[in-house]
Chain A
Amino acid sequence: MRVVKWLVGTVTAAGLALAAPAQAQEEIVLGGSIPMTGVFAFAGVGIHAGIQDYVKIVNDAGGIKGRKIRYVFEDTAYKPDVSVAAFKKLTGSHKVSLYYGDSTAFSKTINPELERMGTILMAGASFATEINDPQKYPMQFMAGPDYSEQIGILLRYVANEKPGARVAIVYSDSEFGRDPVEEFREQSKKLGLTVATEIMTPPGSVDVSTEVIKLRRANPDYTIFHGYVLAPIPQFVQQLKAAGSKSKFMGSFWTMDHSTVMKMGEAGDGFMGVMPYRYYYDDSAKAPMLEKIRRMRPEYQSTPYLQGFLTAMLLTEAAKRTLEAGKPLTGKNLKAALNSIRDFDTGGIIGVPITIKGNSIPVGRIYRADMKAQKMVPVSDWIRLD
């Protein structure tokens, strides 16, 4: 027993000795579970670059109240358990105040831990409706509209374009896919739209021709896809167009990156979707922050890049406001500071000033694919759900 005590004592002392300089340091640490590899890598690489760039911009400008931001990350391969391990590793070796999480599963898993620690404000790649609940997720937020709100924005647009239109939703049998379906039903009703059909596809299903048959018979004016990145959307679009369907097709955030939509080829022409950020090449209005990005990186940057960039911007903004108020960086203070954001200018990344009341930013715009110009072009104004 004495041995144990001695061991504990020595080790604790050693730990304190090590920890002491860490406390004196001025850096604010932004940690990240980033899916650099695996099925979500297309987004993870962009997110990583976006966070990196914004952190660099802040640090080049002298940091926040003289304190530099340090971005530390671990690759997760988009696996929740690896992601949790990364979180433990990063929070174990750094005094992390801000965090980027990579999936809904991770956000949910880590939530009790966040509340227990009470020192971190987290945002991430998940736009799950469930997380948009300040009561249940008091130390998290998302840099955009949640999935239900994304569908709401799409429906708002449809109701505007063609009142009483027939709308259909095609979604994957996963948490991601099922997320906004209820909201889809309710909003359609509220907006006076007719639900033509709801079709669920099993995850990883290869052949969707039976679903195509069902969808064709439902004869929708607008079809919304949710819960996919790419496949099986092109198959649906192609087969329906070939069969003479007049439906227009729409997608939600993770489908809408330029490169993903362009992979649909000819059939993807006219594909629409909701996007809370301006595309990299969208120069329809003045956007100083986008210009800065274009100067830093002359080649196209994906929408996940912008998502990471904006998330880093909001996280640091919360830290800045907390420090300015002279408060310590705790999860609660950070979140309160975040919610104090009113009519905030994102430098044109989001086209309208934003206000963060709860855990999300319910703003978006409809873009449409123009295959000839190989560009996504805006077809609506910024739509705000308030």
Chain B
Amino acid sequence: MRIGTAKETYFADEALFDTRTQRVWLFVLAALLAVFPFVASQYWLYLACLVAINVIAATGLNILTGYTGLVSLGQAAFMGVGAYTVAVLERRWGTPFLLNLLAGGAVAMVVGMVFGVPSLRVKGLYLAIATIAASFILHFIFANWTAVSGGTAGLTVPPANLLGLALDSEFRSYWLIVPIAALMVLGAANLFRTRIGRAFIAIRDRDISAEVLGIPLLRYKLLSFGIASFYAGVAGGLWAYFFRSVTPESFPLIMSIFFLACIIVGGMGTTLGSILGAAFMTLVPEGLKLAFGWLPNAEAMAVHLAPVRTMVFGALIVGFLIFEPHGLAEMWRRTRRFFHLWPFRT
């Protein structure tokens, strides 16, 4: 139990950030994020943008998998849908980027729900396998609908344009990507204070009881699929603006697995988990590279970096599932709890 958090109204109890300390820290975090681009090198800005994009996609997947209990291996493919939508809109009509991103999300949402319909006839692991099918079928469309998608060569994307300013460098992209990511994460956190979000959780915990409680399963599962795909679509759109080139091979199945790994490592069913997981999994390869650089015979060992990276990726999934199933978010919470009563109890 925490000290000094007596709540007098339900409203206070439902608040997203319930203590003052929390709000202060949040403000500090926001300030840090705002200062970061002025102090960080291009490389770190690049990584920050990448982390932010991955956070969006992972948050979406967490809504579907962590909160609603439906496993999907199609998140990257839906990201591809968003990326292609944005690329086509930006190239053909040059519409404003916010509109493009929304459209990217919306199209991904529709496509996600279309693939959701057949796969939602089945549950659990069958669904996971069905989403693999979605990912292959979408790849086929990307590669062969040449008139729109540019075939295997893909599309190059002009930079997003903010009041005549081309958002083409990391520094400028940062101001596009990170605020949107923050907004989307906030949206996800708020979702679970609404009827819809609570319905998702009810479905995850026991779908039959949820139905008895008056939650139409099919509709809510589809909705969850749609929201997850919307997040993927927006992430894909940002991806397109950031990398400025979209090809069918940009969104492979392993990327979907990566997002799944993000939420496993981060913690399923928590918003914090999506953030921590996506950041951690994006930075692990860079950390490994750094660590390999410190080895005494770095030059010779460099050859082993890629396989070690692959193994560490797998080992993280397995290790977290076996030893820390609630992920980094739980570790974070444990640490926080420790400090709540510190130094009165250790």
Q: Which residues of A contact B (CB under 8 A)?
A: 4, 7-8, 11, 36-38, 41, 45, 74-75, 77, 80-82, 84-85, 88-89, 91-93, 105, 108-109, 111-113, 116, 130, 173-175, 178
Contact = CB atoms under 8 A, between A and B. Distances in A.
B145 interface: no
Contact of A85 (B35, B154, B286, B305): B286
A220 B307 CA distance: 41
Interface string B14-43: 000000000000000000001100110111
Interface string B169-183: 110000000000000
A112 B168 contact: yes
Given A7-B35, A105-B245, A178-B151, A93 B307 contact: no
Contact of A37 (B43, B153, B156, B305): B305
Interface in B251-285: 285
B46 interface: yes
A88 B307 contact: no
Contacts of B151: 178
Contact of A108 (B39, B154, B305): B154
Contacts of B249: 105, 174-175
9 contacts: A4-B38, A37-B303, A37-B304, A38-B306, A88-B46, A88-B170, A111-B245, A174-B249, A175-B152
Given A36-B302, A37-B307, A75-B306, A92 B38 contact: no
B143 interface: yes
Nearest to A39: B306
Given A37-B305, A37-B307, A81-B50, A7 B247 contact: no
Interface residues of B, number: 37
A92 B42 contact: yes
A175 B150 CA distance: 11
B46 A108 contact: no
Closest 8 pairs (CB-CB, A-B) = A37-B306, A77-B306, A92-B42, A175-B152, A88-B46, A89-B43, A92-B43, A109-B245
A79 B112 CA distance: 27
B285 A82 contact: yes
Nearest to A109: B245
B35 A41 contact: no
Nearest to A173: B143
B153 A175 contact: yes
B159 A112 contact: yes
B243 interface: yes
A85 B43 CA distance: 7
B156 A88 contact: no
Contacts of A88: 42-43, 46, 170
Most buried by B among A37, A93, A173: A37
Contacts of A91: 42
Most buried by A among B35, B243, B285, B286: B243
A86 B47 CA distance: 11
Nearest to A7: B35
A55 to B, nearest CB: 15
Most buried by B among A7, A38, A84, A112: A112
Contacts of B170: 88
Nearest to B168: A116
A80 B244 CA distance: 13
Contacts of B245: 105, 108-109, 111-112
Contacts of B50: 81, 85
B152 A178 contact: yes
A116 B159 CA distance: 11
Contacts of B168: 112-113, 116
B41 A130 contact: no
A116 B169 contact: yes
Contacts of B305: 36-37, 75, 77
A88 B49 CA distance: 12
A245 to B, nearest CB: 29
A183 to B, nearest CB: 14
A38 B285 CA distance: 14
Contacts of A85: 43, 46-47, 50, 286
Most buried by A among B46, B151, B289, B306: B306
B41 A92 contact: yes
Contacts of B303: 36-37, 41, 45
Contacts of B43: 85, 88-89, 92-93
B92 to A, nearest CB: 18
Contacts of B35: 4, 7
Interface string B123-150: 0000000000000000000010000000
A232 B322 CA distance: 39
A45 B305 CA distance: 14
Interface in B194-251: 243-245, 247-250
A274 B170 CA distance: 41
A174 B244 contact: no
A45 B247 CA distance: 27
B291 to A, nearest CB: 13
Nearest to B140: A173
Contacts of B47: 85
Contacts of B39: 7-8, 11
B296 to A, nearest CB: 18
Contacts of B247: 105, 108, 175
Nearest to A11: B39
A81 B286 CA distance: 12
A89 B285 CA distance: 14
Nearest to B170: A88
A137 B309 CA distance: 33
A77 B286 CA distance: 13
A39 to B, nearest CB: 9
B305 to A, nearest CB: 6
A175 B144 CA distance: 11
Given A130-B153, A178-B151, A112 B244 contact: yes
Given A85-B50, A112-B245, 10 more contacts: A8-B38, A36-B303, A36-B306, A37-B304, A93-B41, A108-B154, A108-B247, A109-B245, A175-B153, A175-B249
A131 B247 CA distance: 15
